[in-house]
Structure 1
Amino acid sequence: MARWRLKLPRNPPLPTRIPPILRTRTSKIDHRGELIKPNTPRLWNAKRRIKTSHGLTAPQLQLYRQNRLPAWREHVSPDVLSFIDAQQPPLTPSQLLRLLASPAAYFSHPHNVPASSRKQVYLPQFSITLTRTPHNPPSFATFHVPLWFSKLDLRSYLLSLYNVPVLAIRSFVTPAKIKADMRRGRRFIDRAPSKKKMTVQLVEPFIWPEEVSDFAEWEKDEYWRVGRAQVEIQREEGTWGKFNADLRHRRAISQQARDLVNGGRVWRSTWMQLPAQRRVLEGVADVVPIKTQAVEEKSVKGKGIV
């Protein structure tokens, strides 16, 4: 009996992709005007076409392949030529041919540019949150940090990114509560991840801005009113509205009944109320008040009209 095995494709590891960034000026000059660091070779990107940077044309490239263009360095832009001379070890003939054919296409691939000529960009994979603590003085700030974060990490983070020196740091971990969960008739004990906070003492005090209390500019009340109305309409038109009574309609009917019992409203049959409503809608007459309706009802009963 043959046994079949599921063979999964083995994907090769993806190379680290560091995008090349265009550098137009990387030199450093001190206050005396002396050059400390010269300009590094300018880099290209396929999305940033540079008209001043060019290699060889098609006829010149054909002559270069046939070794009939000894003065090819005179036809290449200086930035491309400086990049070729700065490579250690030097470029292979195939790499040099691809570079001279199209510098933009060559430098669009990150692996063609050495890491020393690229700007290294490191994006953090964690988040730090500054919390509002009105009970603390302005010289103290509290942060929510990952559990593996140390005091040295937070000090370096604040100093390197925000240029905020600190005097002291205190850290504490708040364990989460234990919760019992019933799954498939069995009881499981679970606990959420703990939370770590760090309180730093700042050199310069930081005062939080005042909290926004008036949200009329952003129409907060209208936003929540429309949201509640949409949820109510969806409930009435959905399954919940089909299998449950309309409580709003029931309350309106009960209120009308109470008004009739208390004498606040006079009951009139439909054939007596329709003409008045029609006249009001057409604009011929105004709305008849309750007292006038009661007087008309008494006069109609006195005349014996049913």
Structure 2
Amino acid sequence: MLTKAGWILSAPASVEDVRLEWEDGSPPGDRFGEAKARARRLLPWRTGAERYPAYSSALVQLAGRSQLYDGDLYRPTAIAGEANGIRLRFTHGRYFEHLDTTEILAYEAASRDLAGRTPADGRYRRWLKDPFDLTRRSTGLGTVTLTIRTAAGSAGFYMHKRDADQLAVGAGVVHAVPAGEFTPSDIGLEAIRADFDLWRTVMREYAEEFLDLEEAYGRGGRPLDYDHDWPFGSLNEARESGGLRLYVLGVGLDVLTWKPELLLVCLIDGAVFDRIFADMVTAGKEGTIIAGPRGNGIPFEFSNISRYVDSENTRGAAKACLTLAWRHRAALGIVSDVDS
């Protein structure tokens, strides 16, 4: 991943050490409009004289991704490492804006590769110039959580083979689980304010990817009750009692798309895991969870971690989470029989 000084923490920190700031309106120097216009020049022709208006439109109309929804998201505009944490500044964004000006970098690279040209030397990427300048384009923040089930003398982690037919981003690869977008759960202003909270996003991703509950696309409906609705109440109780511990490891940009991704690790006591995820669905709407022996996770051993880190089919953010979790295993209190 691409990182700057202070982005990768020297030790795991509580997720509360990620400081979230909000700014209304566009950030100073915002060039999103120009970025979208320049990105459009990469798209195929819809008619003899007109290109598709945006990458999101082409995905829906040409690639048949009709399930895509232009929901609200929290758009990061600045990232900085601090003494013991990370500071993130956000404004309001939309998912299609992210597709149209950030995810399109993958399309540009793939098009050049198919044409026998250098993938990472496209004119749009050259115009963006600085991957760390988040005012030049619109993007979302990915939350990537490596889940580790802990028990007496052992630990196991989970991976996710993402469905190539259902997903527009990261399709067909192996990723940490759960992984999602930092978004509100609902279109209401109350939800947009109340869900500006990383833990709430991680909880919703657990509900979707481990329990296959219907995803909150932000289209309206009954607001979530995080204190009482299943499984949020139980996840909150587990965290408050210490049976579930969520740490931040750092933040980095995906090398291909330059999307910021927050790297997290969540340790869950075995009894707590088995209670909350008793009905875990290994084959869900977004892909298949690789659950390891007896569903207790892939043994957290150097050889297993290396196997996924060395695989070309593993997402970069997942590799980073695995590498950092292994590096900090003592600080995390993870017991492993194999060291290196």
**TM-score normalised to structure 1 length:** 0.16
In our comparison, the structure showing a higher alpha carbon Rg is 1
The structure, 1 or 2, with the larger RCO (C-alpha pairs under 8 Å, 6+ apart) is: 2
**TM-score normalised to structure 2 length:** 0.15
The structure in which a higher percent of residues are helix is 1
